[in-house]
Amino acid sequence: MSKVLVVDDEQSYREYLGRFLARDGHEVRVAESGREGLEIGVRFRPDVLVVDWMLKNHVHGLHVAQALSAIRPDMASILITGFPSGDLKAAAERARIFRFVEKPFDVEEIREAVAVAALGRSGASAAGASLALVETDADGRIRYANPAARVLLGETQAGPDAERFADAFAEGRLPDPQAAVRGWATVAVASRRRSIWEVRTHPEDGAGTRLWILRRRGERTHVPLVEMVLGVEEPLDLRWPWDGRVLVVDDDELFRHVARAILESAGAGCYAAGDDVEALRLLEHDEGIRSVILDFEIPGVEIGSLVERIRRLRPEIAILGNSAFERSEEFAKLGVDRFVRKPWRAADLVKLLQAR
């Protein structure tokens, strides 16, 4: 049978699924948040992930799937959602989600999806991991290295099957864990090519185990994925300073994709909707949305009416007007006195939101 991780912030769903999947013989772990799901998942390394999309913090279900797939791309992800929007389906396709399951669901649907996902993994490859991950114990022995890390270890004198992390590095050049917690630490490895690595880690847990992300010097890595896997924050020029998520409402699919990438790279949880129906349904389903970036020109939508409906539904929410043209006066007449013109940066939004 398979190792299965269930992540859902609703206790009833979480326990219900965990109990039935364990009866099928699977080794099951459960988590109540995206952050906990990542903390468990990077060490448990499930064969199958069953995760709710709308989790109640800034790490949502797709984040969990993307981060765990970055270290184990042969993992199959099953995404549970009560709101299968077009943007979600597109994002899920990019993240190679194995299957959608809509709430409310019958447990047999999940059990069948997990069984099929587990079988489908038999021909999958783990070679395409985008992050090279090593887990070490309190004595520095390598407990686990994913295929991407084994490739890097293979470039050292210790070889791909190295047993101790220190053997990969030039004598006396073991990375300083404290420096690697604060940021990327540069270190020479023991190899004929005089290679240089950059390593990143996190504070060790109570048992003394530690996770390391490795890369060759000069290589770029996906900052949000590193942060999520290690539970640390990268030193950035800008970091989103608030809890809660942002909803981008715009009919332009490319713009929604770019806006979401900009916000998530700054550490903001972000949803996107292409019309008023999707936007209002998202606001109804997720109380964690704190800000809405609203385009002025959405075909078939009377913007004043949409602003009123948003405020009736969520009177406390911050609305930012948004357009490729100067629309600040038009938005002001609707009571939206914060406006940002496309193209914008995350810093522009932070400045506007901090103004009040």
User: What is the CATH number for 209?
Assistant: 3.30.450.20
**176 and 98 within one domain:** no
pTM of the model: 0.79
> In the listed set 180, 201, 230, which residue is the last one of a domain according to the structure?
230
- Return mean pLDDT, the chain: 89
* pLDDT value of position 289: 93
> Is the dihedral angle over the CA atoms 115, 117, 120, 123 positive or is it negative?
negative
Average pLDDT (45-66) is 88
* 236 or 276: which leads in pLDDT: 276
DSSP string, 207-259: TS-EEEEEEETT----HHHHHHHHT-----S-----SSEEEEE-S-HHHHHHH
> In the listed set 183, 207, 230, which residue is the last one of a domain according to the structure?
230
**218 and 173 within one domain:** yes
Beta pairing class for 185-188 and 142-145? unpaired
Q: Is the pLDDT of residue 123 over 60?
A: no
Average pLDDT (124-140) is 81
User: What is the SS3 assignment for 286?
Assistant: coil
Measured over all CA atoms, what is the biggest interatomic distance in the chain, rounded to whole angstroms?
A: 69
Domain span at 24:
3-123
Confidence of residue 128 (pLDDT cuts 50, 70, 90): low
Place of tokens 């604060």: 182
Answer whether 55's CB lies under 8 Å from 34's CB: yes
**30 and 99 within one domain:** yes
Total domains, the chain: 3
Confidence of residue 126 (pLDDT cuts 50, 70, 90): low
Instruction: Supply φ then ψ for residue 29, to 5 degrees.
Output: -120, 150
Q: Is the pLDDT of residue 156 over 50?
A: yes
Any residues with CB less than 8 A from the CB of 38 and at least 6 apart, and which? 59, 64, 67, 68, 228, 229, 231
- Give a yes or no: residue 238 inside a domain: no
Average pLDDT (145-163) is 95
Measured between alpha carbons, how far is 319 from 52 in angstroms, rounded to an integer?
27
Q: Is the pLDDT of residue 356 over 70?
A: no
